């Protein structure tokens, strides 16, 4: 059998390493944001998920799913999966 994903509306913010975007991501996550600058040229956001700690790199999308869960998504997958909701 084949299945189609049900249409759902999610909230997402693309990770850019600037103060306004970091505030927006923190508000989306509804928690304190942990950005790691261990490698200053490649900052990452640490996200606690049901599957464990995941990292989002600059350019990745941070998504709040239908059950309030937060997770990162690579830009190419995001573009294939989501479109702007009116």
Predicted local distance difference test score (pLDDT) of residue 50: 83
Euclidean distance between the first and the last CA atom of the chain, given in angstroms as a whole number: 31
Reported as a pLDDT band with limits 50, 70 and 90, residue 79 is: very high
Do 82 and 31 touch, CB atoms closer than 8 A?
no
Mean pLDDT, residues 2-18: 91
At residue 21, the pLDDT reads: 95
Report pLDDT digits (tens) over 12-61. 999 999 999 999 999 999 988 889 999 999 999 999 888 899 999 999 99
**Which residue spans within the chain are E strands per DSSP?**
11-14, 35-36, 44-49, 52-57, 61-64, 70-73
**pTM reported for the whole predicted model:** 0.89
Model pLDDT, residue 77: 95
């Amino acid at each position: 059998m084949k299945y189609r994903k049900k249409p759902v509306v999610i909230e997402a913010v693309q990770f850019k390493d600037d103060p306004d975007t970091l505030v927006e991501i923190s508000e989306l996550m509804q928690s304190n944001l942990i950005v790691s600058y261990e490698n200053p040229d490649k900052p990452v956001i640490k996200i606690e998920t049901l599957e464990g700690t995941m990292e989002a790199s600059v350019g990745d999308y941070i998504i709040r799913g239908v059950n309030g869960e937060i997770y990162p998504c690579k830009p190419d997958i995001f573009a294939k999966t989501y479109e702007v909701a009116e």
